[in-house]
Structure 1
Amino acid sequence: MTKWLTLSLIPLVALTGFVACDDSTQVSAPPDGGAPDAAASFDVLANPPTPAATAVGRGGAAATVDVRATLAAIEILKRGGNAIDASVAAAAVLGVTDPFSCGIGGGGFMVIYLAKENRFVTIDHREKAPKAQTPSLFYPGGQRLDTNEIIASGLSVGVPGTLRGWEEALRRYGKKTLGEVMQPGIFVAEHGFVVDSTFVDQTKRNQARFQRVSSARKLYLTDAGEPHAVGDLFKNPELGATYRKIAEGGTRVFYEGEVGQKIVDAVRQPPEANPPLRAGVMTMEDLANYDARVRLPVESTYRGHTVIGMPAPSSGGMTLAETLNILTPFSANGDRELHLHRYIEASRLAFADRNAYDGDPEYVDVPMQGMLSMGFADSRRAVITDKAGTGSAKAGNPYAFQSDPSPSGPPAQTPALDTSPGGATRETTHITVTDSEGNIVSYTFTIEFEGGSSIVVPGLGFLLNNELTDFDIPTDPNAKAANILEPGKRPRSSMTPTLIFKDGKPRIAVGSPGGSTIITTVGQTLINYFDFNMPLAQALAEPRVSERNIVVTPGTDTKSTAEPAFINSDIGAALKARGHQFVETAEIGAATGIQFNDDGTVTAVAEPVRRGGGSAMVVSP
């Protein structure tokens, strides 16, 4: 059975507006007792530089989706902080500038390399189901609730873990306090940021949901119920005040104090909405009892490199490792189309196994040893032919490759809530940071669907997650599966923060947002880098395809999601000739990464175009 570790360090092995609508929300002054001087010291964030998608240099580096977040990380590094401090500072800023994707109302996964101690640690601060949350709540009268009714509700809100994760990371491995690294976020929340087209587009996609919920409408829409315009200065002083309370009072304010009580009130009695939102069952006890976990990382190899990823309840590390294991004997041999065909097929098989076996290891006997074994990969590879597979791929049998097979055996397979109904999209954000000491952080965190549950906690300025939609919620209320909701359980995730080492030295750190496409975004980036010999910047920018064993219509073949540039390429046409089918989407993921160069420099890389383009910086260019 997979174990979790609460207080261990993991040894490194095998590495020889303002056009805002409401003055009370948008321009109120910070509360008395705040730390205006500390926050004001980050006034460099008021006029950030023009974002660049790549940066080369020394002394540390950072890459995020937002220039202010990246700049905050660099400033913390310049002021004596390490990569852990800088990643939390960037995350706090993203909670302000990328609020529909992440924030203190959600959770995440952090993979850390500690250079002086030559070891990895992973911090799981995934949201949890409240103690009173049972599957029956999704089936009133025995009938499954409509997916959109679950998505926007108190019923979908998991106990937030973000702040516990930050606290744990800083307490163990940081140089600065939580109060210190939250100052950049306080500054941006109170002074505002200029709205860009991505912020507007995200608001427009969720306009109907925000219009419905009074607290979201007040914060994110104008008096006329419209998104703010590109170029507006958007301020969120309520979030700034919340950050100040946490900076001064610690995480107890959130998990045991006044902030927590307001969260519980918003879940149990959601803000005024038309029609009303379903209420959840979270309590103050749920918040007080939340803790982050330090877990053993997933370790695998590919092309002579060690791949370090996140274990369950994230499925990212294991699914990526299985995909790469299946591909290991194959060589690209200059035939890019054939290799991508095999990659798509390997991903399809790995996702079938993910859906069957991955879940919270404190509730499920995840056959991790078997799933990561090369013997299991050999058995799965044997299924691949020169043509696209038909129908939905069935899970393999990793138990045959376990030295101590679980007596529970393979769980029943049920369909996951893996699509994006009602026009909603899953969103997340990723931060990649390194410092002058060689520490590295690859950090992905989220509030699940874009705009989360639609519930802005009244008076606090942040959205709550709807992470409980990441559990399997099948039509049959009696169905059993590894990822079925249980009280206190953490839902399976696809977040895939990843580190790549060779001969004990770092080569790449990478990760991405994008729901279950996160795994394939990281996977394809690695294929581009290792097998097609692309620099990380090019590997990350290439057109993407995502195969996740999804059957859109029962009884039909699976279809891969792909970007137009991929579908319309010569390779896309050749893959269609092999039987691959594609569903077009505008873009997949918004990755960031760092490449560690042989001359001692690093290249920080962000998306050049997706989600409006990201930001990469170094301490010393």
Structure 2
Amino acid sequence: MRSPRFRHGLPRAVLLLLAVLLAVPCLAAPAGAERPGKAAIASAHPLATAAGFEVLARGGNAFDAAIAVGAALSVVEPQSSGIGGGGFFLLHSVADGKDVFLDARETAPAATRGELWIGTDGKLDRDKSVNGPLSAGIPGEPAAFTWLAAQRGKLPLKVSLAPAIRLAREGFPAYPRLVAAIGQRRAVLERWPAAAGLYLVDGAVPAEGQRLRFPDLAATLERIAESGDAGFYQGAFAQRMVEAVRAAGGTWSAEDLAGYRVKLREPLTVAYRDWRIVTAPPPSSGGIAVAEMLNILSGYELGRLDRVQRTHLTIEAMRRAYRDRAEYLGDPDYVQMPVAELTSPLYAAGLRASIHPQKATPSALLPGYGAPAESTHTTHYSIIDADGNLASVTKTVNLTLGSGFVVPGTGFVLNNEMDDFALRPGEPNAFGLVGGDANAPRPGHRPLSSMTPSFVIGKDRVGVIGTPGGSRIITMVLEGILAFIDGEAPAKVAANPRFHHQYLPDVVSAEPDAFSAEETRALEAMGHVVNRGERTWGLMNVVSWERTTGTVQAGSDPRGGGGAGAAAVK
């Protein structure tokens, strides 16, 4: 496929040459202790964090713990992720010193074609794109767990999955976030008896504290523990899923499931001052956007600026990176993308030159394009083990409780990731925003994502960071990286108030405590439109290792109420 033309900045040939000449240097490894000696885990639920430590105590490493935490979250946080979905796993192995990006993003079924989601009026049918099996891509999480156990772990899969199996069978108390999610999606769950039977109790939304058990999910996890991903993607279990999906209007085939593979990709690396940021490559848009924003901001002495000026420049960097996000990015296996240009320091210098130090740039003055958005219902967890192995994992089923569709007898909800494609280029998705042809739905393609699991590596500090939050993930990770570089501890990084700009709409979203009234007035005087006091967003989890002191820390986001925020060091 022809690569899209690069419509602003210097000519491509010049940029490619300079990208090579200005390639990110390999920064020296941190000095200090050779290993942390302790482990840190931060996840969205205490039971998931406990599952990770249980597996570490049985002799596992960070990658075994990543299976345990992820599988436990599929039990206790089904509104955000699960084995019916997928995700991204950024991994650092002490044994070989390498960083690996495991892409377990869902894929479009072979029968995918854009008209499947078009209604009789010729417009995108929102119900089909977000509810029911037609909205579901082929899940990737079971394949990721199998790969982790076989290629990076120290324990058999059945040991790493044991805590989640026990949780699913013995149950756990319903907590406010989960109860609210089930209430929000109740009408959709009630369309399918298996979904209603799984998440409703006697036809009603469960009460807080009520014990929830998922025996079918326990059996599914046991099948994966025994047979690996073949127990999910092949045989009678796979056939049962195909038959149920097709009977309810979906297009899955046995070949779609049998043909699913995780992808190993080279992580993106960007140098920012004396730090090395390792982050997500496509089909994540997040790493490229973070690299572009950091490259722009590297031209300023942010530490010497007052908060209003620093915020203004950060917003302008966000605006430009989000403009590029939808224009150029898609599935790297099928779409040629100008990644070298977008992440080039020289390209960033050109963008920086277009930023007025005292005035906002109206988004309408930049070359036009809309940014696609994804659900905020995702999860992230961060792990450092005692040897210094790192895992930064972000995974999702997309909308709250995914598609709302459950195959009878399986115990989990299917994702609705097909809505993360630009199902009809130029047509708004569930969040009122649009995407381009590079992210159009095609057989076997993986939809563009904002998920941005990252490492922040300095001379004597190492951080593992990530968050859910849909299209706001990218700006949260950017702000978290900058705060960590400024010396803040994980708990502070995760709790900081946030602001966000994504090019369109041309508005600065701000959490209630993000700006003072005086700061808001100053930003507005520069021309920014500030929505001050919006709802909070995200559920960030951060862990760190101070190499000079040997200190290991973990911080979970206080947002989200009961069941959220589980950080521990042992």
Q: After TM superposition, is the score higher than 0.5?
A: yes
Alignment of 1:489-508 (within 5 A): 489-503=445-459, 507-508=462-463
CA gap of 1:237–1:339, structure 2 versus 1, over 3 A, is same
Aligned AA (1:592): N
Q: For residues 93 and 25 of structure 2, what CA distance do their matches in structure 1 show?
A: 13
Contact 2:372/2:471 (<8 A) preserved: no
Judge which range, 288-297 or 574-583, deviates more: 574-583
Judge which range, 561-570 or 488-497, deviates more: 561-570
TM-score, normalised with respect to structure 2: 0.89
Structure 1 residue 579 displacement after superposition: 2.4
CA gap of 1:414–1:485, structure 2 versus 1, over 3 A, is farther
* 2:549 equivalent to 1:549: no
Structure 1 residue 213 displacement after superposition: 3.0
* Equivalent position of 1:538 in the other structure: 492
CA gap of 1:506–1:112, structure 2 versus 1, over 3 A, is farther
Q: For residues 64 and 509 of structure 2, what CA distance do their matches in structure 1 show?
A: 36
Contact 2:44/2:541 (<8 A) preserved: yes
Identity fraction in percent: 36
Cα deviations across residues 488-508 of structure 1 (Å, max 9, x unaligned)? 1110010000001124x6511
CA gap of 1:443–1:455, structure 2 versus 1, over 3 A, is same
Structure 1 residue 265 displacement after superposition: 2.4
* 2:391 equivalent to 1:441: yes
* Equivalent position of 1:566 in the other structure: 514
* Equivalent position of 1:243 in the other structure: 221
Q: For residues 125 and 436 of structure 1, what CA distance do their matches in structure 2 show?
A: 26
Contact 1:449/1:466 (<8 A) preserved: yes
Cα deviations across residues 405-450 of structure 1 (Å, max 9, x unaligned)? xxxxxxxx7645527xxxxx53110111111111000011111111
Aligned AA (1:314): S
CA gap of 1:585–1:257, structure 2 versus 1, over 3 A, is farther
Structure 1 residue 571 displacement after superposition: 2.9
Contact 2:172/2:212 (<8 A) preserved: yes
Contact 2:177/2:560 (<8 A) preserved: no
Structure 1 residue 263 displacement after superposition: 2.2
RMSD: 2.2
CA gap of 1:81–1:164, structure 2 versus 1, over 3 A, is same
Aligned AA (2:511): E
Question: Alignment partner of 2:397: what SS?
Answer: strand
* Equivalent position of 1:521 in the other structure: 476
Q: For residues 158 and 25 of structure 2, what CA distance do their matches in structure 1 show?
A: 34
* Equivalent position of 1:15 in the other structure: 27
Q: For residues 66 and 470 of structure 2, what CA distance do their matches in structure 1 show?
A: 21
Paired residue for 1:128, among 91, 98, 107?
Answer: 107
Q: For residues 236 and 517 of structure 2, what CA distance do their matches in structure 1 show?
A: 55
Alignment of 1:89-488 (within 5 A): 89-140=68-119, 143-223=122-202, 225-270=203-248, 279-332=249-302, 333-385=304-356, 386-392=358-364, 394=366, 415=370, 417-418=372-373, 425-474=375-424, 481-488=437-444
Paired residue for 1:82, among 36, 50, 61?
Answer: 61
Q: Which structure 2 segments of 5+ residues have no match?
A: 4-23, 29-35, 428-434
Q: For residues 194 and 467 of structure 1, what CA distance do their matches in structure 2 show?
A: 28
Contact 1:109/1:495 (<8 A) preserved: yes
* Equivalent position of 1:614 in the other structure: 565
Contact 2:370/2:504 (<8 A) preserved: no
Q: For residues 475 and 2 of structure 1, what CA distance do their matches in structure 2 show?
A: 17
Question: Number of matched residues?
Answer: 531
Q: For residues 98 and 137 of structure 2, what CA distance do their matches in structure 1 show?
A: 31
Structure 1 residue 204 displacement after superposition: 2.0
Judge which range, 593-602 or 209-218, deviates more: 209-218
Judge which range, 453-462 or 603-612, deviates more: 603-612
Structure 1 residue 582 displacement after superposition: 3.6
Structure 1 residue 2 displacement after superposition: 13
Q: For residues 144 and 235 of structure 1, what CA distance do their matches in structure 2 show?
A: 40
Question: Alignment partner of 1:185: what SS?
Answer: helix
Structure 1 residue 603 displacement after superposition: 0.3
* Equivalent position of 1:19 in the other structure: none
Alignment of 1:44-59 (within 5 A): 58-59=37-38
Contact 1:559/1:582 (<8 A) preserved: yes
Cα deviations across residues 15-42 of structure 1 (Å, max 9, x unaligned)? 32xxxxxxxxxxxxxxxxxxxxxxxxxx
Q: For residues 172 and 475 of structure 1, what CA distance do their matches in structure 2 show?
A: 38
Q: For residues 579 and 267 of structure 1, what CA distance do their matches in structure 2 show?
A: 50
Contact 2:149/2:155 (<8 A) preserved: yes
Q: For residues 436 and 363 of structure 2, what CA distance do their matches in structure 1 show?
A: 22
Q: For residues 121 and 13 of structure 1, what CA distance do their matches in structure 2 show?
A: 18
Question: Alignment partner of 1:589: what SS?
Answer: coil
* 2:542 equivalent to 1:581: no
CA gap of 1:474–1:140, structure 2 versus 1, over 3 A, is same
Q: For residues 246 and 530 of structure 2, what CA distance do their matches in structure 1 show?
A: 41
Structure 1 residue 354 displacement after superposition: 0.9
Structure 1 residue 348 displacement after superposition: 1.1
